[in-house]
Amino acid sequence: MEARGKFYNLPEELLTKIAGCFVAEATSPRSKDLKTLRLSSPRFAYLKVIQKAVFLNIRFPTSVDHLARLEQIDINRIAPFVKTISFKAQTHGSTQDKELLCSERLRAAWTRLLRALPVLEKAYLWSYDSPESQSQPQSKETNLETSTPAQMGDALIAAAVACLLSSGARIRKLQVCCEITGAQNWPSVPGWEGLDLSKLENVTYRPDPDCTANQVTTENAEAQAAANLCAMFHKCHGWIRKLKIYGDCVLLWPGEEIVNLPELRYLKLEYCGVHVRNLGSWLPNMPSLQHFEVEGTHDTERDLTTWLHVFNAIRDHPRNKSGIRVVFHQAAPFNGALISLDYVTNQYEETLSWYEDVLRGQVEDDPWVDAHNYIMLYMVGEVGYNDSLRMWLEDDD
């Protein structure tokens, strides 16, 4: 008892240092060590450093059981620590789960909690498999209701929009990583017009369209995905600083419409179809760009010379002389060969020295092996569209 009394008399500063070691080593806010530490003593349970780590992110799963818990929870105690909300839809949800997503009961519960979060900054929209859905086979009736996962994703987006609007939350970071039908038009979602995204500065867009859900064609799904992004950009164009688009699915970007993104500093396109000609038109409208990355993408036009539109846009970009990091990682399959390069536009002295040695005949170049060097020098204005680039881009073999 005496030892216990001494523990309870320890200063908060010392307990914070002890807990800080566990927080630093924790792999996630819900790590077993942090949970154990909180349960070991009320002094640890209500320690700010632990509460900040454990309650940084709270989840809103879509099931009747989880909703009942959310309706009963007193959020005020942890509200000052919550910065991230994860809206989650089951990929194999039942018809009841989908109806729940569309219900006023769920939206009222979500809105109540959102209103109580004074430091909320991030919203994530995810699809997930629940243990129950994985263990229970779908009935024939459910199978007839095709593409339930994609329909759940559409319903999740609609519910999140409605609740963010009703709560007045102004998020700074958004991730959309859920299955969708490819037919949903975001501006037509109830509440979209009034949704305030004026403070949104970080966007990750990784939808997973299932075009069979509403018999949507691949082309229409691609066009709708691009249009939805534009609709979002119109709401945050003056603030967005970071944009990542992933497309291990049906996704082609950008579309024909161009939106000025004056504050965008970081753009990454990964494993998606790139409309290269349109991308070349978008880049000049990103005057603050500092990082441009393309990984594992493919040119849907199958005309390799269209990449000149992108190269020219970088070459003429207002930040070219100040420095833009340009990264191609196994991207843009030129004549069947993937290209990889990583350089900063105002740091190319070594490559320029190599090219000067080529001109002096001191080293031999190979257009196929040294293609990345020629692209680099072209994008900084040191070489024109020379025979080496022409051979590489226009070869039909």
pLDDT in tens, 371-393: 889 999 999 999 999 888 888 77
State the chain's mean pLDDT as an integer.
83
Res 151: pLDDT? 84
Q: Which residues of 246-269 are buried (b: 16+ CB within 10 A; e: fewer)?
A: bbebbbbbbbeeebebebbbbbbb
**What's the Cα-to-Cα distance from 169 to each of 259, 331, 342, rounded to whole Å?**
24, 38, 38
Q: Is the pLDDT score of 248 beyond 60?
A: no
**What's the Cα-to-Cα distance from 50 to each of 25, 31, 76, 79, rounded to whole Å?**
12, 11, 16, 14
Q: Between β-strands 266-270 and 273-274, what pairing exists: parallel, antiparallel or unpaired?
A: unpaired
Rounded Cα distance, 250 and 339, in Å: 22
pLDDT digits (tens, 9 = 90+) for 269-288: 988 888 889 999 999 999 99
Q: Is the pLDDT score of 243 beyond 70?
A: yes
Rounded Cα distance, 264 and 318, in Å: 13
Residue 23 confidence class, pLDDT cut points 50, 70, 90: low
In what side-by-side order are the strands of the sheet with 273-274?
A: 252-253, 273-274, 298-299
- Average pLDDT for 283-298: 92
Q: Is the pLDDT score of 212 beyond 60?
A: no
Res 26: pLDDT? 63
Percentage of residues of the chain with pLDDT beyond 90: 46
Q: Is the pLDDT score of 132 beyond 50?
A: no
- Residue corresponding to tokens 């700010």: 48
CA dihedral sign, ordered 337, 343, 345, 351: negative
Question: CB 177: neighbour CB atoms within 10 A?
Answer: 16
Residue 136 confidence class, pLDDT cut points 50, 70, 90: very low
**Neighbouring residues of 76: CB distance < 8 A, sequence distance ≥ 6:** 116
Q: Where are the alpha helices (DSSP H) in 237-306?
A: 276-282
- Average pLDDT for 319-323: 95
Selected residue with higher pLDDT from 286 and 25: 286
Rounded Cα distance, 88 and 334, in Å: 39
Q: Is the pLDDT score of 354 beyond 90?
A: yes
Res 304: pLDDT? 74
